[in-house]
Amino acid sequence: MNVDVRRSLHPLRIRYAAPLLSRVRAFWSWWSGELFELLPENMQTAILQRQQKLYVEVDDGKLLMSLGNHAAQREVLRLPFDAPDVEAADIPREAQQTILLLPAGKVLSKHISLPAAAEENLREVLGFEMDLHTPFEASEVYYDFTIVGRDSEREELTVDLVYAPRDAVETLVEGATSLGLKTDIVTCRHRDNNNLQTVNLLPLDMRRAKRLEIKNLNLALTALLAVLIVAAITIPLVQKNRAIEAIEAQVQVAATEAREGSQLRQDLERMAEASRFLVEKKAAETLIVELIDEISRILPDHTWVSRVDLSASELQLQGQSSASASLIATIESSPWFENVRFRSPVVQISGTDNDRFQISADVVKVQPQ
């Protein structure tokens, strides 16, 4: 069941995962190089010293040893290939890796197109088909490969197969072993004699377990730095969002309380207005009663009132009296009225001694004693 699942997912890995991983590796190579350039010079020197590799190759019948990295190496020692003086030789033994370089004439390469399904067991497939693509059997060579292209439409792989005769590899490894060196990688230079092939012709069972390299440590530290940078950016934003949410909750509560306070104020204003209305109504009714009482008190007995029109500012009286002319003085004698006047001429009632009058006066608000 697991085999079927892997096979079903294999095309997806070829189409998407492998190209993405290649881009990630390229990006990491560029980014780590840029970060390295930002470091102080003394730190760069210390890192380069710890990353130094020992390169061993045969040159003019001698073992040539160089220290450095993939970009540059410097020669440190030459020893006779046949009988090196191990004890007297000042061999660097603190290098991070020991890399043996085969002569260019001992290494062959070939581009091969294979079905994409072969990628899962590519080394075994190349071993089975070695005699189809090279003049050798798989038992006669040591080989390694690099995937240089993927055609997802045609479901094909382009592989760069690099191989060398077993005796050439074993002779070089034995020479390094005789010097007390433990071989990590067997490879060769490109045709331009500058860069190294990205292969390891050393068989899998002869390779040493990978040690923790400073490169891996730098990768881990850089990843940790990236995590810390993301955390440094994210945590304040999260805290600000939480603070904003807390403030918004407080604002919501305050807005609710403000609405309740505004409603309460409006209710109080309505109640105050109703209270003022009642007070004014009561005051108005009290004023009318007092004015009527005042009119009843000041008018003489020979005067009858048939109609009273009373407002808050004016009093109108209609009636009969045997002495209408004296009514103006009588009404003006009251502190409640002023500007007393006849609104129409006084008319004698026929057959009687009384006159018909119509008087108006302005009402004055008098504070009670």
Mean pLDDT of the 84-107 span: 74
129 and 195 in a single domain? The answer is: yes
What is the pLDDT at residue 3? 47
What is the pLDDT at residue 352? 83
31 and 99 in a single domain? The answer is: no
Reported as a single tens digit per residue, the pLDDT across 147-205 is 888 887 888 888 888 999 988 888 888 888 888 788 888 888 776 556 777 888 888 88
| Distance, C-alpha 189 to centroid of its chain | 48
> What percent of the chain is predicted at pLDDT more than 90?
1
Q: Which of 159, 188, 211 is the last residue of a domain?
A: 211
165 and 81 in a single domain? The answer is: yes
In a domain, 275, yes or no: no
In a domain, 222, yes or no: no
Domain residue limits at 27: 1-38
What is the pLDDT at residue 220? 73
Confidence label for 109 from pLDDT (cuts 50, 70 and 90): confident
User: Which of 27-31, 45-49, 77-81, 153-157 reaches the highest mean pLDDT?
Assistant: 153-157
46 and 74 in a single domain? The answer is: yes
Reported as a single tens digit per residue, the pLDDT across 271-301 is 878 777 666 666 555 567 777 888 888 888 8
Instruction: Please say if the pLDDT value at position 224 is more than 60.
Output: yes
What is the pLDDT at residue 89? 58
Q: Residue 85 corresponds to which tokens in the numbers above? A: 């003086």
Q: Which of 145, 178, 211 is the last residue of a domain?
A: 211
Q: Which CATH number characterizes residue 93's domain?
A: 3.30.420.380
CB 118 within 8 A of CB 125: yes
Split into its structural domains, the chain has a count of 3
In a domain, 231, yes or no: no
Half-sphere exposure in the Cβ direction for 353 (13 Å, CA): 4
Instruction: Please say if the pLDDT value at position 212 is more than 50.
Output: no
60 and 207 in a single domain? The answer is: yes
Q: Quick count: other Cβ atoms within 10 Å of Cβ 277?
A: 10
In a domain, 220, yes or no: no
Q: Which CATH number characterizes residue 315's domain?
A: 3.30.1360
CB 123 within 8 A of CB 141: no
43 and 147 in a single domain? The answer is: yes
90 and 132 in a single domain? The answer is: yes
CB 148 within 8 A of CB 159: yes
141 and 206 in a single domain? The answer is: yes
50 and 30 in a single domain? The answer is: no
In a domain, 216, yes or no: no
> What percent of the chain is predicted at pLDDT more than 70?
78
Instruction: Please say if the pLDDT value at position 210 is more than 60.
Output: no
- DSSP H helices, 39-142, are 41-50, 122-128, 130-133
Strands (E) located in the chain: 53-59, 62-68, 73-80, 98-102, 108-115, 141-151, 156-165, 185-188, 303-310, 314-321, 337-342, 347-348, 355-363
In a domain, 230, yes or no: no
Task: Please provide the average confidence, as pLDDT, over all residues in the chain.
Answer: 78
DSSP reduced 3-state for 330: helix
- CA dist 43 and 36 (Å) reads 9
CB 349 within 8 A of CB 319: no
Instruction: Please say if the pLDDT value at position 336 is more than 60.
Output: yes
93 and 162 in a single domain? The answer is: yes
In a domain, 353, yes or no: yes
CB 321 within 8 A of CB 342: no
Reported as a single tens digit per residue, the pLDDT across 16-40 is 566 666 677 677 767 766 776 777 7
Confidence label for 264 from pLDDT (cuts 50, 70 and 90): confident
DSSP reduced 3-state for 200: coil
**What predicted TM-score, i.e. pTM, was given to this entire model?**
0.48
202 and 329 in a single domain? The answer is: no
Instruction: Please say if the pLDDT value at position 351 is more than 70.
Output: yes
In a domain, 178, yes or no: yes
What is the pLDDT at residue 7? 54
92 and 173 in a single domain? The answer is: yes
